[in-house]
Amino acid sequence: MRKIIHIDMDAFYAAVEQRDNPELRGKPIAVGYGEARGVVATASYEARKYGVHSAMPSLTAKNKCPGLIFVPPRFEVYHEVSMQIREIFLEYTDLVEPLSLDEAFLDVTVNHKNNPSASLIAKEIRQKIFETTGLTASAGVSVNKFLAKIASEYKKPNGFFVIPPDKAEKFVEDLAIEQFFGVGKVTAQKMHDHRIFSGLDLKQRTETELVHLFGKAGHDFYLYARGIDNREVKPNRIVKSVSNETTFLQDKNNRILLTVELYHLAKEVFERIEAENFHGKTITIKIKYADFKIITRSKTLPKKITAFHQFWHIAREMMKQIDLSAQPVRLIGFGISNAEDEPLKKYQQLELKLF
Ligand code: DCP
Ligand code: MG
């Protein structure tokens, strides 16, 4: 039996803004732009009381909560905190699978501290996160990813919850179908159309029926309904060569969120190319939409770029051109290619001089 922890920062961007600006503490704030076409990236818990939430149009949010304070996002700071918490996770295990900047799965079945208690590890991690960043995180502990993630949601914010294996089935029965892994708006609607509203409803359907309705995902839903999830924790965000990508648990069409994710990917790629002294001239952004259609946008520069701000400026401009109006995004990727072959060039120059 495995020991899995899911950690998720509370009101992440909003909490960072309140940390860094004491005047914002205790107040309803939204990270995002308060303009006509803006959307809320996230809201402080004070603002959530008024019904303000992620992905809500800014104007709607303002109507719901007239005192709402909009704060523009600061990509660099969120990235920095994300790296700090990642370091803390890696003290315990190499099996860390980040899902976005502020959340990750950890498999601590075997761990660097030889601590047999996943609950104690989760508590320590929450404590360390608070000491290091001044921010709170919620943690869930269970025997698989599905249950651990549900557990971390359950007592949010600043919460901690364990789902022991013998309680899992009952727990899942009571869940709303929207809370299941991989159930976004479209799937939730389809579930509702077939009179599936809870885990219990789901459990009463046969596997054949679910596969017929949802394809391959139907098989997973069948198992989730029984508290079973065999997916491994995959440390998938370790930078591979010079490109990096993230698949979201739920599709996203929020431009701020996607830009922050892109910043994070770009920064990781950049740190890697610095370390390996690999410098390219082509920047590529890859987007996979909800319907699995993939688009890539590339830009090739006359010469290699060495400063991160130049690099990011271009990536950000490219991101602005990506169409998010038709459908949400399930994956975003970033890469650098077209390296200048330095040794060859020197050799060629030498040749020129010689002849
Ligand atoms: N985010 C975003 N747009 C969304 C959802 C999230 O820009 N539609 C960003 C802002 C969040 C961060 O991602 O701060 C993390 O997302 P979470 O879903 O974990 O939300 P929060 O951390 O803000 O709140 P909580 O986890 O306490 O519910
Ligand atoms: Mg969070």
pLDDT tens digits, one per residue of 117-126 = 999 999 999 9
Ligand nearest to the CA of 251: 1
Mean pLDDT, residues 222-241: 79
The minimum-distance atom of ligand 1 relative to the CA of 10 is: 27
Domains of the chain (ranges, CATH numbers): 1-163 (3.30.70.270), 166-231 (1.10.150.20), 243-348 (3.30.1490.100)
Pocket test for ligand 1, best of 12, 78, 160 (most atoms within 8 A of CB): 12
pLDDT of residue 102: 94
Are the CB atoms for 12 and 80 separated by under 8 Å? no
Catalytic residues: 103
pLDDT of residue 276: 67
- What 3-state class would DSSP assign to 21? coil
Phi, psi dihedral angles at 177 (to 5 degrees): -60, -25
288: CB partners within 8 A, 6+ apart: 247, 294, 329, 330, 331, 332, 333
pLDDT of residue 297: 92
Give residue ranges with CB within 6 A of ligand 1.
8-13, 41-42, 54-55, 100, 102-103, 156-157, 252, 254, 256-257
Residue type, 300: T
Q: Which has more confidence, 134 or 282? A: 134
Mean pLDDT, residues 33-53: 94
Pocket test for ligand 1, best of 54, 105, 158 (most atoms within 8 A of CB): 54
Per-residue pLDDT band at 355 (split at 50, 70, 90): very low
- Does the pLDDT at position 10 exceed 50? yes
pTM given for the model? 0.77
Phi, psi dihedral angles at 226 (to 5 degrees): -105, 15
Mean pLDDT, residues 62-90: 95
Helix (H) / strand (E) containing 50: none
Summarised one tens digit per residue, pLDDT across range 177-223 is: 998 888 888 899 999 999 999 999 999 999 999 999 999 899 999 99
Per-residue pLDDT band at 155 (split at 50, 70, 90): very high
Q: Quick one: CA torsion of 280, 282, 287, 293, rounded to 10 degrees? A: -120
Task: Extract the tokens encoding 309.
Answer: 């701000």
